[in-house]
Chain A
Amino acid sequence: MEEKKNKMSRRDALLGLATVPVVGAFFLGASAKSSHDEEIRESILKELNVEAAAPPESGPMSGDPIRIGIIAFGIRGEQLGRALGFATPAWIEQMKKNALENPKDTRLKDFLEQESQNVVITAVCDLFTVRAEAAQAAGTRDGNKPKIYRDYRELLGDKNVDAVVIATPDHWHAPIAIDALNAGKHVYVEKCMTHKVQETYDLYDAVKRTGLVFQLGHQHRQTQSFLTAREIIRKNVLGHINLIQTNTNRNDDNGAWQYDIHPDGNPQTIDWDMFLGNAPKIPFNAEHFFRWRKWYVYGTGLNGDLLTHDYDRINCLLEMGIPSSTTASGGIYTHRDGRDVPDVLQVVMEYPNFKMGTTQEAGKEQGMTFMYSATLGNQWDRGTLLMGHDATMELSNQVTIHADPRSTRYKQMIEDGTINLDVPMYAYNPSAKGVDAVTGATAKYFASKGLMYTYVNGKRVDSTFLHMREWLSGIRNGTKQSCGIEEGFEEAISAHMTTIATRTGKRVDWDPVERRIKVDNATLESIGIA
């Protein structure tokens, strides 16, 4: 002991501990920086008073499985099948391969980990034999094999079907949905809700009359970033919103509805007359069958197919409803392949009475323009912007808010440096702990619009899964639908107004008292959407 003591001189002690004060300095510095950052964060958050919103609670899914009939099993039908928990064997094989080639591709894993919806597919219907069989294969499980119907009316007569999922071309949405409701089946239908103006009223009445559960397929309403954005807007963080910019930017065949034509598609395998339905009678045309979105007689073009996503995205935030007037123009500028729907389109919707919070003197601010701009020939992401007097919100799967330099509300915070105009004052990224991989340009486009997935407690979940779950919970527990017939009516009427404007080149007005589009029937008939 004595010898050791001798060896440890004062000099040893000093040199051994020479750098210890650095640790003190480190923690002083680190905690000063951290509390500075935290103080700024806290003061902004306190001012904004925003909390990330949780997805709506849906009720328990226990009990007997709900018996589902799937009507149409094309691209979207397959996706809806997976959201219900049923994938085709071919898709599973393909995804296995993809996952091997690209470890970032977790679609199969996500699908297998998806919670059960407690449903059984009892019946399927598709006009194309190959797809009907694929639907049957997807739905076959635990001894249950869905029955194939070629005619949807027979499927609606099946006692073993409680509810139907409709993913047909647009011109069949309303006729089938109305028949289904009349047959006592709950309905989940894809957008655009209707193809023609009168159908919108008829479907509205059918839902009201039957009281059955109706959900329109705008699944982004389940996206957490949107729910958070709604909370932010309700707290008047943006001030008076005067302009909204939305858009579609795509530049690939799939995005331009140039889908694959199945080699087995022919008059023997496809019920062509049934496909035509209320469309003009023409001889069999495989391109029309597989790429129906390119023609107004079956589809609704950019107006019904993609504008509706953006319209409903904003309608779920602002509940601004049907515009007072719309103007639109566009053309076929990048895909001159025989289609008659524009591939470049600009739409302006006016809301002169819109009012939702202000930070200036009363009466100064009122009214808002919703702008939609689309091209299928360029995929530069222009971002969705909600522009208010006090701040601008950029909305995708994330939410970013930039204070406006001339804001009234944040004037003081900008002056004292609490808000730095060079960086967003608020950013919400529900995937902060997660990892994303989205393959393909169109998939990225959809993901940014909250159409592919969202996050629940940091875990990535298919937003369509949640949307269908909400519908199923409505059937089981009577819970509310976030995109029911009221929202669907507004979506369809607004879309039809823009279609009329696009096709006539004239401004189209809405009569809120009569609840009618101010347009004569002859005009509607001339463009085939009376």
Chain B
Amino acid sequence: MDGTVKSLSYSATQTWMLTILRVLIGWHLMYEGIVKLWNPGWSAGGYLMDSQGFFAEYFYKLAANPGVLEVVDFLNVWGLVLVGLALILGVFTRLALWGGIVLLALYYLSHPPLIGVKYALPSEGSYLWVNKNLIEIFAMAVLLVFPASRVIGMDRYLMTWRDGRKASSNGVPARKEEIPV
């Protein structure tokens, strides 16, 4: 994969399925962010204090300091909204996917579904080691290695623009993408 549009050779179905997956994850994250943004009483404090596992102490510390907690709340809410929006639009997708993976990894590490661990906040399903956070992390990892946003999504413009710059510096006209969409 050299990062140019033409190097992708997914079928139309593959491209659209990857796009739908990306949009759904984007929707999920953005709604999680928006709900928190629109609820002035929301704070990650309770969730952090409910942490278990190897990193629990670290998460308690984040919650214990009101100043730090405010920063955590801000980064979390706007992280979710911006990552979600970027995934829906397919813009700066690589960066957004990494951002989303980091956020979800933090949730996963603060509430790992370990044997013998109980959380005050009830979960809606039954999990052992693997939970929906982990699955969503790897769904985003899949999107990282299958960058369909270069076909469907605003990244297409970025790619075209980059190809154009490359082409003009090489003196060779850029080829248009040939994906059967």
Contacts and interface: CB of A to CB of B under 8 A. Distances in A.
Interface of A: 3-4, 7-9, 12, 15-20, 22-23, 26, 30, 34, 103-104, 106, 432-437
A104 B174 contact: no
Given A7-B164, A103-B57, A435-B49, A18 B64 contact: no
Contacts of A16: 90, 152-154, 156-157
B88 A432 contact: no
B160 interface: yes
Contact of A433 (B27, B45, B154, B161): B45
Contacts of A19: 19, 23, 88-90, 152-153
Contacts of A30: 31, 34
A435 B45 contact: yes
A435 B59 CA distance: 12
* Most B C-beta atoms less than 10 A away, residue of A4, A22, A34: A22
Interface string B109-142: 0000000000000000000000000000000000
A34 B38 contact: yes
* Most B C-beta atoms less than 10 A away, residue of A4, A7, A9, A15: A15
A8 B160 contact: yes
Contacts of A3: 164, 168, 173
A18 B176 contact: no
B30 A12 contact: no
B64 A7 contact: no
Contacts of B157: 8, 12, 16
A530 B148 CA distance: 88
Interface string B141-167: 000000000011110110011011000
Contacts of A20: 89
B19 A18 contact: yes
A7 B41 contact: no
Interface residues of B, number: 39
A7 B64 CA distance: 54
Contacts of B153: 15-16, 18-19
A269 to B, nearest CB: 40
A22 B88 contact: yes
Contact of A15 (B34, B46, B151, B174): B151
Main secondary structure of the interface of B (DSSP, over half): helix
A435 B151 contact: no
- The 9 A-B residue pairs with the shortest CB-CB distance, nearest first, are A435-B45, A432-B41, A16-B156, A103-B60, A18-B152, A435-B49, A16-B157, A433-B43, A22-B88
Given A7-B174, A9-B176, A435-B64, A26 B89 contact: no
Given A7-B160, A103-B57, A435-B45, A17 B154 contact: yes
A435 B34 contact: no
Given A23-B85, A433-B41, 10 more contacts: A4-B161, A7-B163, A7-B174, A8-B160, A12-B156, A19-B89, A19-B152, A22-B26, A30-B34, A435-B63
Nearest to B63: A435
Given A3-B173, A17-B154, A434-B45, A26 B160 contact: no
Given A7-B176, A19-B89, A26 B45 contact: no
A261 to B, nearest CB: 35
A15 B152 contact: yes
A436 B49 CA distance: 8
Interface string B41-67: 101011011000000010011011000
Given A19-B88, A23-B85, A104 B27 contact: no
Contact of A104 (B60, B88, B176): B60
Nearest to A437: B49
Nearest to A109: B64
Contacts of B64: 103-104, 106, 435
B89 A435 contact: no
* Most A C-beta atoms less than 10 A away, residue of B64, B163, B173: B64
Contacts of B43: 432-434
B54 to A, nearest CB: 15
B55 to A, nearest CB: 12
B181 interface: yes
